[in-house]
Amino acid sequence: MKAFWTESMGGAGPAPGVDGGPARRWRNGGRLSLLAVAVVAGACTSVQTTQPGAVGVERSQLMSVSRAEVDKASAQAYDKMLAEAQKQGKLNRDAALTARVRSISSRLIAQSGVFRADAPGWKWEVNVFQTDQVNAFCMAGGKIGVYSGLVAKLKLTDDELAAVIGHEIAHALREHVREQVSQRQATQLGMSVLGALTGSQAVTQLGNQVAQVTFGLPKSRQAETEADRIGVELAARAGYDPRAAVSLWQKMGSQGGSRPPEFLSTHPDSATRQQDLTQMAAVVMPLYEQARARR
């Protein structure tokens, strides 16, 4: 709030006792802050981003930023990543691995319509970044990135790789980044609204928030559970063994040591996670068997 006062009230303002002093500035700043919070709260919309599927994810979400804005910011950040990786010679350097990742992703994406009808028509992109990091992501709007270190260090099977990518796709389907950005804006006293009122660079601010949420901040346990469950079902429907999600997280945990891999640092774990994955895998096993029979 101090920065807002200084910027909006024109410096230190009058001394105490002269024209209200700090008390008047507090009242004015406080009113605008409360107004910002009220505007953000009023602008929130309850959204059902996905259908429940066999795993039964049905939670509605409160959003204060539009999907179009988040998708645009994500696409811009993704394009920047691609350009930097290309410049460094680290984009899709292993043709065989790139083909493998894209093939698995394509099968998972083909099943995304089960959860939301518009998803198969998104502008999906799938690329592999040559790095030792153990990580993967799917940005809003379907921008997928897999780090070569994830596959190499964990020696992932196709089923396990499908579990990773399916989990990340699920975050995009559920619009968890958009949800988390909305929550941050609400808890930061409506800074996006204050930015609009004072003429600051709201677009840049949103882009920074999207990037930070996507790559730097842990998801909530609720969001992680949803991504686990939807990812398991996507894998099963695509013909990948859903039980591989359990062995995947076991491999992830074994890589921890004194410092967990980056993938786990932004994906909070719990004692019940593997138990939940095992239960969900059992739920979707009939879908897996059906998919195998078709293939």
Active site residues: 168
Rounded alpha-carbon distances, angstroms, from residue 254 to 115, 158, 187 = 32, 19, 36
Query: CA torsion, points 275, 277, 283, 288, in degrees to nearest 10?
Result: -140
Give the sign of the dihedral formed by CA 64, CA 68, CA 73, CA 75: positive
CB 128 within 8 A of CB 204: no
CA–CA separation, 187 vs 198, rounded Å? Answer: 19
Q: Token pair for residue 38?
A: 């009220």
Place of tokens 């995009």: 172
CB 54 within 8 A of CB 223: no
Q: Which DSSP state fits 114?
A: G
The distance from CA 124 to its chain's CA centroid, rounded to whole angstroms, is 15
Task: Give the closest residue to 144 by CA, choosing from 158, 119, 124.
Answer: 124
